[in-house]
Every structure is written in C-alpha cells, then in structure tokens.
Amino acid sequence: MNGAESLVRTLLAGGVDTVFANPGTSEMHFVAALDRFPALRCVPALDEGVVTGAADGYARMAGKPAATLLHCGPGLMNGLANLHNARRARTPVVNLVGDQATHHRPLDAPLTADTEALARTVSAWVRTSSAVHAVGADAAAAIAAARTAPGGIASLILPSDVCWNEGGVVGTPRAPAAPAPVADETVRAIAALIERGEPTLLLVGGEALDAHGLHTASRLEEIDNVRVMAPMSNRRVARGREAADIARVPYAVDAALKAMAGVKHLVLVEAAPPVTFFAYPGKPGTQLPPGTEVHVLAQPDEDGGGALRALAERLGAPLLQRVAPTAPPPARGAITPETLAQSLAALLPEQAVVVDEGVTVGRAMFSMLAAAAPHDWLQLCGGAIGEGIPMATGAALGAPGRRIVGLQADGSALYTLQGLWTQARMGLDVTTVIFANRRYAILQGELAAVGAQPGPATNAMFELQRPDLDWVKLAGGFGVEAERADTMAQFNDLFTRSMARKGPFLIEAVL
Amino acid sequence: MNGAESLVRTLLAGGVDTVFANPGTSEMHFVAALDRFPALRCVPALDEGVVTGAADGYARMAGKPAATLLHCGPGLMNGLANLHNARRARTPVVNLVGDQATHHRPLDAPLTADTEALARTVSAWVRTSSAVHAVGADAAAAIAAARTAPGGIASLILPSDVCWNEGGVVGTPRAPAAPAPVADETVRAIAALIERGEPTLLLVGGEALDAHGLHTASRLEEIDNVRVMAPMSNRRVARGREAADIARVPYAVDAALKAMAGVKHLVLVEAAPPVTFFAYPGKPGTQLPPGTEVHVLAQPDEDGGGALRALAERLGAPLLQRVAPTAPPPARGAITPETLAQSLAALLPEQAVVVDEGVTVGRAMFSMLAAAAPHDWLQLCGGAIGEGIPMATGAALGAPGRRIVGLQADGSALYTLQGLWTQARMGLDVTTVIFANRRYAILQGELAAVGAQPGPATNAMFELQRPDLDWVKLAGGFGVEAERADTMAQFNDLFTRSMARKGPFLIEAVL
C-alpha cells in the first residue's frame, strides 16, 4: 500500500468521504487511487477558491468535514481566502495540500513555495508528512484536529514521494470529542448576574444558533432585563416561521451602536465580543457602549445550547407559545431589496438552505425571511467576498434533497463564479439569485463612512459596468441554465420554476 | 496632505503611474485621491489574481513596475499565486496592500489576517507603514526595492489610519540601479573554459534574452564546443524572423535529459541551474548529466548581455549574416497544435506580444514561431496556472500600440477569466486564443510520468466536460466579443480579422 492509499483509507475510516479537488502533478497518486475507492466522492472544481469554499459549505450542512485536495503552495494560495472564511466560521476542514517530493524541495523548482507558512495563516493545525509510514497517522490526526470543538482548518501537507512510496499504514480514527459542558458554577454566576436586573445582552453564536438553542434564547429574552442577539455573521442559523427569530448585530457601526445602547452586561455564548469589520476615523472599533462588562457563559468550544437551557431552567424562564408569523404574498412591481425579500419570504420552499453573500442588497433579508418556510441560513464569516457560489455548491452536497438558494451580490459572485461549473457537473439543486446592481455598492457606503469625497475617477472604481456583466451568458458558459428578471413578476416566475426542477439555475435579478 | 496622498505623489514621482486595483474599505483613501491625480491610471479588476498577473505583464513590457492595490490579508491571498509567478519571473512589482487600522488590528476583526506572513512568501521586500509621516519614504523604498536588479516583489502594507491621517510627506524617489557589470576576470575565466574545447552549454536567461543578447549568444554558438539554450520559462524573449532563434530546456524530464546529453560545463547567464518542475519516481530532479560542472558568467542581477558581448569579443566569435526564415502559409484542415502554430507563424502581426500559457497544446509553438514577424514572447515562470489572461491584460497597457496575442490553455484560463472584463473595460488590443481541448491534458501526461494507471473515476478528474465550457458565452458575459473555430479556415479568418480591429477578441479554437 502506498502513502496515497493509506491516506484514502484513513479518510474513509474517519468518516471523510467527500473531497473537493483541484489537483496537480504532486497529487496524482491520490487521484489514481480514486478508482479503487468508490466510497470516496471526489468533486472537481475549476479553481481552488471553489474547492475551499465548497468544503466550508459542505461541513456546515453535513456536520462533518470534507477534505480538500490542493496543488502545492500556489494551489493553496488560491484557496486561502475561503479557508480564512472557514476559519472565522469555525468550520472543520481537512485541508490536504500536495507538495514537492522531499528530495526535490531543496532544488527550488518553479512551483516551490513556503507551503507551511501559507497554511499557518489559516489553520488551527499544520503538519507536513515526513515519511510514508506516517501518512495514515497524520491524516487521522488531521481529522481529529479539524473536528476538535469548535472546528477548524487542519492542513496536512503531503510531499509527493511520501504518497507514492510503498509502506503506508492506515491511521486509526479517533471519535470526535463532543463540546465540553459548561460548569454549573458558570451558569449560576450568569444567572445571578441577570437577577441583578441590569440590562444584559446575550450574544449567541456557533452551534447555539440551532433551533433548540434559539428557542431557549427566546425564553430567556422574556426576562425583562435580558436581550438576545446573534453576531453579524454566523456559520448556520435555524430560521423561518418555526424557529425563534433573533436579531443580529448590525454591520454599520452607527446602527450597531444604537442597537447596543444601554447594555450594561454582555454575556457571550459561543461568540466573540463584537467588533466592527473596519475602523473609521473618529469612531469606535467596538460596538459596545463604554463600560460594558463582558462575561462568558460558553466559550466557542463549549456546549452553549446546553448552558442556555441550564440558565433558562435556573431563572425559570417562561415556556413560550409561539405564534408562527405568516409570510406575505410575493411582491409585484420593481425589483428592490425589499421586494426581493418579500418574494423570497413567500416562495422559499420547506427546508431550503440559504447561502447569504448578499452584501448590501441582501442585508435586510435575514430578518424579512423570518416568516418564510423553515430553512437554514449560512453566511460568509471572514469577510473575504467570493465564497457564496462555492459555499452553495458544497452545501448542496452536504444537504442532499434540500434546495440551496444563493443570495448573491454580483461583485462578490465574480471572484469564484467558476463554482457554477461544479454545480452543473454534479447536477446540484442550487438556485443562485444574482443581485445585479452592477456596482460595488458597499464601497460607496464605506467611502462615505471614512469621510472621503468621490469624484468621477473614484466612482469609476466602484462600477461593474462599461461593459455590464451578462450573468445569463456567464452561467450558460459554465453549463448552468439562467434567465434575467427585470420585474418582480418575472423573478417570482423564475424562482418558483427553479424550485420545482432538478439541477442548478441562476436568476440575474436586475436592480 | 494625508498618507494616501503622499503615497500617490511618491508613486508618480518614482515613475509608477499605473495601478491595478481591487480595493476594499481599507483602501478608500487611496481611491478617493484618484480624482486629484489624473496622471495616475487606476485599472479595475474583478479579482486579485487579475490585479497581480496584470502587474507582472505590465512591467515586462513597460520596463518599470506597476503598483497593485489589494484589500487586506484576504485580498492579498487571492493575488498571491500570480505574485509567485512574478517572483519567479523576477518582475518588479510595487505590491500595495491596505490593512486594518493600527488600533483596530488587535481587535481581530473578521478580515484580519497575518498580512506580513502572507507577503513574505512571495516578496523580496516587505514593510508595514507604521505612521503617516513614513508612508512616502516607505513607498519610495518599495519602488527602489522592486527595481533593484533583477527585479522583485516589494510589498508595502498600509494600515488604513496611516493613509487617512494628516501629516504625509512625499518620498524621494531613488534612481533605479543598473545591473552590475560582470568582472573582466569572470569573462576571462569563462573564455578560458570554452577554449578548453569541452562541450559547454550557455544557459541564457533574464534580460540577456533581448534581441542584442540573443544575437551575441548565436555568435558564440558558432564556436564548435558551445551550445546555447534558454530556460524552459522566461520573463521575455525577443522572437521572430529578425531575432536569433534559441532552444529552451524541454519541460519533459526525458526530453530535457536528452537535450543536455554530453554537456560537460554549464555556464549560467542570468539563469539558475535547470531543475524539473516536479520529481518523478526513479528519475533525477535536475536535467544536467551527472558530473556536469556549473559555472556562472552572470548572476541574475548582473548584466548578462554585456558579459556575453565581452565573451564573444574575447573569443573572436564570428559576426553572423543571418538568413531570416520564411514563414509558412496559413494551415488548412483540422485544428491541431501543429496547424495552429503554422497559422500563427503566418499571421502574427509585426511587433505582437505573445503571452504563452498554452501548456500542452502550446508547448511546440515557441520554436515554430521563429519564422513569424518580430515579436516578444512572455511566459508563466512560476508554474501557477491562471496567469495568461491577466498577463495579457497588463502587457497591453505596458505596450500600447502593439497587439497582444494570448496563447491560452483552456484549463489554465478558467482560473482568472475575469481579466477579460478588464480588457473590455479598458478597450485593450488583446486577442485570446483558447486551446479548447476540454481537459487537463498535462495531468494525463503527469499521471503517466509518475507511473499511475488511471481508471474512469481518475480520468473524470481530468475532464473539462459534462458540461463543456462555452468560451463564446463566457467571453460575451464579460463583454468581450468571441467566436468559435472548428477548422483552421475559420481560425485563420477570425485571427486575421481580430488583428485588424481595436479592442479585445477571443477565439475558442476547438481541438
């Protein structure tokens, strides 16, 4: 058994059966092993940003990691941004990077780069397999590292000779550890804090944003001095009319400051203290009112949902009879962020998975879809735009039988539109809605926020025009059927039809 | 004057007047300054791989660096692969990376990453501007570092507050240093070596591959025991019927070993000793025959062309009367690598700039175009595929008035096809020829070279099919007119017409 085969066998033994791949020469022995292991599903992608974003989306829905397969340092470079996003989402990823043979590396061949240094910028765990007999054990360690709560990127670098040499040994998978329970005294302390009656905000993130956690949080919110919010960006949130609604920390610094006003105590539940994406001249970098005391109920690697339940019991939080909201009818007329949100709330199918890279156009949709059919909501967590299409691609493979709906800003979509081909190739049930406002609208807002005054040359840098991008052609070029909507009537019709069909579809919604 | 303005003024003072940009919030003050400095040309790109590949192509033709403008660590991540390629080409690039404000960085906002660590993997010089008054001096130092022979990546990281604060000071540009002359004793020693009469190979790279250097090398090749070759991949080579022809070290290890057979002495002229791109089981990693002695006539930062001339004088190399080769007529019949090369040799216009990312289909074209009209030949030097379209984009801006011809493998083109939009937006005279063999043909060869046997699952990873990519639609989606050629007659017609028109055009040549 060569090293590549020991790797494949270890992946399968550890429950990793999906690999997103853009391989090169140094990965050929892995690829050559595919025919002997039909249980391993290898998904081709046209570039590495698709590979890594898909691995993020897959794991969020499958609840277990996928592997990537990247080619040397430069292949890793291309995949880093979506690994950065996955790192911020705390998504488990087994990140496999082929590399030069150990004896070839000192020759500094053209593709040679500092692969370990690159991997360290996004990884919780990095190792280079140094010998064929170690590959299996290294792969088992990588799977365990990726699955260690709350989840992270485990990068395993594989010189080609350790894969082609004979002498591989299958690694022994370790059972993933469950998140640690929160200590009783911590729950008691937070309960005592809340009982003081001062304005307290529970910031709930991570796994605690599942339906159960949200329900418990909404019970706690019935206590007079308690409010509940989620971070701006989250790995996965249970949403729709059957789930308890939750507000998020607003993106814009002024809106966030307003939302946080009056808070005396911030209690973190699998969340980090909120900070703005960027600094702005003369504005604070954190949205917390000065003097806010920060407390921790559950660290990201702890069982926040369980801690919330213990807290609710201790405080005698009421059991709620929720009245499910009613979705509005589909919107008519012109396409705007609001009419799109209204129609999506009306037309989203049961158990859809929404992948939100809507940026400016999409920002209000989260709250407006609270009345939609039950669904999950996945977000870009690291701010590196260009993850939506890949994440939708991976989510489709991680959640078979569910329709994926990508809410997709046009500027962001252009980084990794290559993922459409993988959707076509794999026949994935993904509907991508391109919000075609034909500009980097967020940057126009950011420019104003930093106090700069644009003229024509500056404004030209924010255009996605002259020429317009034609998303019907772009999608068609990748083999994905697409149509343009200029009115809400057209959008409603296209969206409804796409929900009823198999395979990918793209709607260019022109705002 | 704020820091951003001091930066712009320093760039212009240092001769850097072209910026390829994909900016974000942290770069807004730079973008806001554009209206005040019309001399600075800011070229928008849809992703960062286009930015950095274009900067590489620009500098190769303009003979001076462009600047990039990238957004934080993740923006840099997306641009790293083509910076890696530029590094291997020894192209000067002033790599500007905006970043979190100094006081915001400790808050670990979502986009925060280890920007310096990322930059170090591709850069000859890295600095983070720490205060507004230092920005100008830092920018001047970056320009000087990029232009220090033989050229390299100078990465200047700019926290947003040092750009928006007042107190900027324009930096003083330094005149770029000319490459150092080679010492007389070195020339004498190499002359004495050649006079021993043993088989000697001059490996000529870098700036010595201009028309003058090639002419001198061809004179030296008239000496019985001297042969001349260029490395496999080169920044820029003067080519066509008026330039002296030169062979390159073959890509395939066996062919390279054969080409090098019998060599006793290797003399390096602005070149590194040849190594294979990859190791293969049981094969050597260098193409040099065992026992070959390696000598250096000129280091990459020295004046190799001058050293060749001194050597030719010293050895009394004959002055040649070249007979210019005659181009064949355009080919007819089916589209193959050979017929494409024949037609290109016939139809290439005077002073074209060929950007070669042809990979398997394109590999033989370099030699077959020796009979074409005079042109320059630019190659991917770092092996990270996905640079052709960006490089062509930048080359067009660096060589105004010349037609750019991109010889482009389809698999490689798919990484950074977004560059087509910049070509349309800027109205660039670029003709891209997509070699649509609809597979990763190189990987099929590499798989055989490592001795692996593919089955259907493995072969499926090499396909660019099911569905086919439609390049006419893809180009059209980005606003670039395109047509498909299924025969050489169609190709000849499309190619000829595209040479006569302004602006970009794409030909999908289906093999």
User: Which residues on B lie below 8 Å from A421 (Cβ)?
Assistant: 414, 467, 469
What is the distance between the alpha carbons of residues A395 and A66, in angstroms, rounded to a whole number? 11
Distance of CA B486 to the CA centre of its chain: 29
- Quote the strand ranges of A187-330, DSSP E: 200-204, 226-230, 237-239, 247-248, 265-269, 293-298
Q: Which residue has the higher pLDDT, A449 or B431?
A: B431
How does residue A34 score in pLDDT terms, banded at 50, 70 and 90?
Answer: confident
Beta bridge partners, A238, equal: A376
Question: What does the pLDDT read at residue A352?
Answer: 98
With 0-12 CB in 10 A as exposed, 13-18 as middle and 19+ as buried, what is A438? Answer: middle
Whether residue A506 has pLDDT greater than 80:
yes
Contact status, residue B322 vs residue B197, Cβ threshold 8 Å? no
Nearest to B31 among A42, A281, A461 (CB): A461
Q: What is the pLDDT of residues A137-176, one digit of tens each?
A: 999 999 999 999 999 999 999 999 999 999 999 999 998 8
Domain B3-164, CATH homologous superfamily name and number: Thiamin diphosphate (ThDP)-binding fold, Pyr/PP domains (3.40.50.970)
What is the distance between the alpha carbons of residues B86 and A248, in angstroms, rounded to a whole number? 43
Can you tell me whether residue A82 is helix, strand or coil?
Answer: helix
Nearest to A384 among B42, B111, B382 (CB): B111
Q: Say yes or no: A473 contacts chain B, CB-CB below 8 A.
A: yes
What is the distance between the alpha carbons of residues B166 and B1, in angstroms, rounded to a whole number? 6
Q: Per-residue b/e over B334-344, b at no fewer than 16 CB within 10 Å?
A: ebebebbbbbb
Q: A443 and B77: CB-CB below 8 Å?
A: no
Whether residue A472 has pLDDT greater than 80:
yes
Question: What does the pLDDT read at residue A498?
Answer: 97
DSSP letters spanning B118-155: HHHTT-SEEEE--SGGGHHHHHHHHHHHHHSTT--EEE
Q: Smallest CA–CA separation between A140 and chain B, in Å? A: 24
Low-confidence ranges of chain B (pLDDT < 70): none
With 0-12 CB in 10 A as exposed, 13-18 as middle and 19+ as buried, what is A185? Answer: exposed
How does residue A209 score in pLDDT terms, banded at 50, 70 and 90?
Answer: very high
Q: Say yes or no: A34 contacts chain B, CB-CB below 8 A.
A: yes
User: Which residues on B lie below 8 Å from A477 (Cβ)?
Assistant: 469-477
Q: Does B337-510 match B3-164 at the fold level?
A: yes
Question: What does the pLDDT read at residue B330?
Answer: 98
Q: What is the DSSP letter of B302?
A: B
How does residue A285 score in pLDDT terms, banded at 50, 70 and 90?
Answer: confident
Is this model's pTM higher than 0.95 or not? yes
Q: Say yes or no: A469 contacts chain B, CB-CB below 8 A.
A: yes
What is the distance between the alpha carbons of residues B291 and A286, in angstroms, rounded to a whole number? 65
DSSP letters spanning A387-442: -HHHHHHHHHHHSTTS-EEEEEEHHHHTTSTTHHHHHHHHT--EEEEEEE--B-HH
Residues 413-452 (A) with a CB less than 8 A from some CB of B: 414-415, 417-418, 421, 424-425, 442-443, 446-447, 449-452
Whether residue A364 has pLDDT greater than 90:
no
Can you tell me whether residue A293 is helix, strand or coil?
Answer: strand
Q: Say yes or no: A86 contacts chain B, CB-CB below 8 A.
A: no
Residue B480's contacts (CB-CB under 8 Å, 6 or more residues apart) are B420, B421, B423, B424, B432, B504, B505, B506
With 0-12 CB in 10 A as exposed, 13-18 as middle and 19+ as buried, what is A333? Answer: exposed
Question: What does the pLDDT read at residue A442?
Answer: 87
CB atoms within 10 A of CB A191: 17
Domain A184-315, CATH homologous superfamily name and number: TPP-binding domain (3.40.50.1220)
Question: What does the pLDDT read at residue B307?
Answer: 98
Question: What does the pLDDT read at residue B178?
Answer: 87
Q: Say yes or no: A466 contacts chain B, CB-CB below 8 A.
A: yes
For the domain spanning A337-510, the CATH number is 3.40.50.970
A427: left (phi over 0), alpha (psi -120 to 50) or beta: left
Residues 162-201 (A) with a CB less than 8 A from some CB of B: 164
Contact status, residue B485 vs residue B491, Cβ threshold 8 Å? yes
Question: What does the pLDDT read at residue B442?
Answer: 87
Q: Smallest CA–CA separation between B409 and chain A, in Å? A: 13
Q: What is the pLDDT of residues A259-278, one digit of tens each?
A: 999 999 999 999 999 999 99
Average pLDDT value over all residues in chain A = 95
How does residue A362 score in pLDDT terms, banded at 50, 70 and 90?
Answer: confident
Q: What is the pLDDT of residues A77-122, one digit of tens each?
A: 999 999 999 999 999 999 999 999 999 999 999 999 999 999 999 9
Q: Say yes or no: A21 contacts chain B, CB-CB below 8 A.
A: yes
Q: B29 and A450: CB-CB below 8 Å?
A: yes
Question: What does the pLDDT read at residue A455?
Answer: 87
User: What are the φ/ψ torsions at residue A442 (nearest 5 degrees)?
Assistant: -60, -35
Q: Which residue intervals of B19-125 are DSSP H helices?
A: 28-32, 48-62, 72-89, 115-120
What is the distance between the alpha carbons of residues A153 and A84, in angstroms, rounded to a whole number? 9
Q: What is the pLDDT of residues B420-463, one digit of tens each?
A: 999 999 999 999 999 999 998 888 888 888 887 788 888 888 99
Q: What value of ipTM does the predicted structure carry?
A: 0.98
Question: What does the pLDDT read at residue B176?
Answer: 85
Q: Where are the domains of chain B?
A: 3-164, 184-315, 337-510
Question: What does the pLDDT read at residue A322?
Answer: 79
Contact status, residue A267 vs residue A200, Cβ threshold 8 Å? yes
Contact status, residue A87 vs residue A153, Cβ threshold 8 Å? yes
